Every structure is written in structure tokens, then in C-alpha cells.
Amino acid sequence: MVRAAVLHAPGESLRLTALELPEPGPGQVRVRIAATGVCHSDLSLARGTLRQAMPVVLGHESAGTVVAVGEGVTRCAPGDRVVLCWAPPDGTCWFCLEGEPWLCEHSSDAASAPYARADGADVYPGLSTGGFAEETVVSERAVLPVPDAVPLEHAALVGCAVMTGVGAVLNTAQVREGQSVLVVGLGGVGLSVVQGARLAGAGQVIVVDRSPDKLELARTMGATDVLEAGGELAKQVRGLTGRRGADHAFNCVGLADTIRASWSATRRGGVTTIVGIGGKEQQVTFTALELFHFARTVQGCVYGSTDPLTDIPRILDFAAQGRLDLGALITGTVGLDGIDGAFAEMSAGRGVRTVVVP
């Protein structure tokens, strides 16, 4: 039995429950969780904006230590420090063979099969991970080694926010040295975009958010210009970029008006990358003439266009070398009983990443 925070239905509070977690089967690994970041997708899943089979143990941004491995496991052994990947590609589907493993058809399969039991009922692992618990069982494809120089609390964030944000810059948008970058929305992902832009050697990094605290934090991570949300964004950005607009915009919010504003703030031929997950009721409109005239690109970004097998170790190396500041993203630590409070803080736009230490 391990303790876990279980969600029984969208909109309810999480309940601390004893979870019957089976020993790992063939190809599976049991991990003692050291830390799990509270991601905005957890909040969306808890409220029912995103769907997930229930009852569920949410939490998908985790790192920990392998405690047992099932038959045939070759990628790790008990005692290994690992980060969990919530979308492990199978390596065999059409998308994987095309070199787009972030779109793998089977990377989310584990989320739709029960992995444990509580109070006599089947329980599902949130986004295939089940990180809001003392331990979890995942596929060996979902664990990647963490270098000794990186604390597990920091490594956890690489599993989702950091991989998504840094991947958006390096993989999806492929920002080049000297280019100007606009980042709209400074949560864990947005601030990771800022750090990714610094890694890419971006010339200007302009950031927008409602929170003065987050704007200041962004400055310490490489932002060159900070804008408090509410102004006329396109005009402000043109004023900072020789009247042209930014080469790249990263929308980490997912609301229609902010996507439209991000697009308008890019130069002719500029690129807007949509990183934040919006709702299906969010309609973004463009006129046919402006789509032609501005020759801009809008592109979606799933999980930072990441091949986790190669990219997660690469990001962890950046962290080990001190080229990414993961600790600065952590603005709070709670136990398994503090997750609802972390959701409330997140809804209010306070803090960047709360880490759950079971």
C-alpha cells in the first residue's frame, strides 16, 4: 500500500487514499516518487476541461528512484535516479517512423488502463504517470536517467514544463541566434521558453504577463524587455523591434485573444508557436487578406516537438552544466495533502511551479 491523492470526479477535491499498487509486470518499472510538479494540465484534468478516465491519480511531472523492475526490463535497475516522461513514444507507429515521436499514436495508452486499486475500485494513472503518490508503476519506456548533478526536484520539471518550453524554442520554432522572441504568459512553460531562448542565443526576449513578480523572475532568466499585460501588445512590440514586430512569438496561454495578439506582434513572415493548451470554445479569427499579406506562420507545439529519448537527457545535461536554472522555477513545496491549495494558487496566477514531495 502507498499513499496517493486520488481524484474521483471532475471538480471534486483530491482524497488521500491508500493505493494498492501491483508489482511491476513485464517491461514495467516501479518508482518511488521524490517530487512531482503541479502542472496546469493537472488543473484542467481536475476540472474536467481535459479528459481522463477516473478515479485517477494525477501528476505527470515526476522524478524519483527505481525500486523494482519487471521481467525483461533493460533500461534501468533498482536504485537508478530517473525522470518520468508522460508521453513515451512506442518507436513503431507511423508517426514514430516518420521521425515525429511527439505525435506517437500510442504514447498515451497507459493512461486509459487501470494500474492500481483503491477502496475496491480500479484507479487510472493520470497522463500515464500517477505522480501524486508515494510510488507509481510505469513502462520502462517512460523513465530516463538523471545525472547526479541534478537534484530530483529539479529533474521532475524536465518531464513536462521545461521539456515543453525549451523544446518549443529549440525543436518546434528552431529560433536562430540573434532573433527576437516574444513570450506571452510566464508560467512554468513560459519561463522555460525564456530560458530556451537564452540557450538559442536569441537577441531580444520580450515577455508579457499580468504578474509583476513573474516579469521580474523572467528578467533573471534572460528576458530583455518586460511588458505588463493589458497594453496594445503589437504596438508595444513593434516599438521594441525597429517597427517590424518579433521574429518569433510563443503563446503559453491558449486564450483566443492572446493568440491573436501574439500573431499580430510578429513581423511579416514571423512565426507564432502555440504552446499553451486552449479550450475548444476559443475561436481565433483572421481575415483572408491579412493571412496573405503578412505571410506569417502559426504552428501548434505538442510536448516541445520532443523525442524524449534524446531530448530529455540533453536538457538534463544543460541543467547539470548550469545553463538552465530549474530551481528558480520552483516557488513552493507541498505534501500530498497540499495539491488542492496549489491548484487554487495556480488559478489565481500566483507562483510558478509548486512541487509535491510525497
Taking the complex as a whole, how short is the minimal distance between the CB of residue 25 and Zn ion, in angstroms?
21
With contacts defined by CB under 5 A, name the span among 2-10, 129-137, 157-165, 255-263 that binds Zn ion: 157-165
Q: Which of 160, 182, 218, 316 binds Zn ion (CB under 5 A)?
A: 160
Grid cell 536569441 in the structure block, residue: 202
Q: How far apart are CA 265 and CA 260, in angstroms?
A: 9
Give the residue with the Cβ less far from Zn ion, 250 or 263: 250
| Binders of Zn ion in range 98-127 (CB under 5 A) | 104
| Closer to Zn ion by Cβ: residue 84 or 96 | 96
d(C-alpha 60, C-alpha 211), whole Å: 26
- Shortest gap between Cβ of 275 and Zn ion (angstroms)? 11
Residues 28-67 touching Zn ion, rule: CB under 5 A, are 39, 41
Least distance (Å) between residue 225 CB and Zn ion = 27
* Separation between Cα atoms, residue 115 and residue 4, nearest integer Å: 13
> For the purposes of burial, counting CB atoms within 10 Å of the CB of 140, is it exposed (0-12), middle (13-18) or buried (19 or more)?
buried
Q: Which of 96, 221, 271, 336 binds Zn ion (CB under 5 A)?
A: 96
Q: At closest approach, how far in Å is the CB of 270 from Zn ion? A: 27
Dihedral sign, Cα of residue 107, residue 109, residue 115, residue 120: positive
Sign of the torsion angle spanned by Cα atoms 292, 295, 296, 302: positive
Residue choice 90, 213, 325, 345 for contact with Zn ion (CB under 5 A): 90
Give 29 or 96: the residue with its C-beta nearer to Zn ion: 96
Residue type, 279: G
For residue 244, the SS3 value is coil
Size of the site for Zn ion (CB under 5 A): 8
d(CA 272, CA 260): 10
**The only residue of 53, 67, 68, 93 in contact with Zn ion, by rule CB under 5 A:** 93
Helix or strand run (H / E) with residue 274: strand 266-274
Residues that bind Zn ion in the complex, under the rule CB under 5 A: 39, 41, 89-90, 93, 96, 104, 160
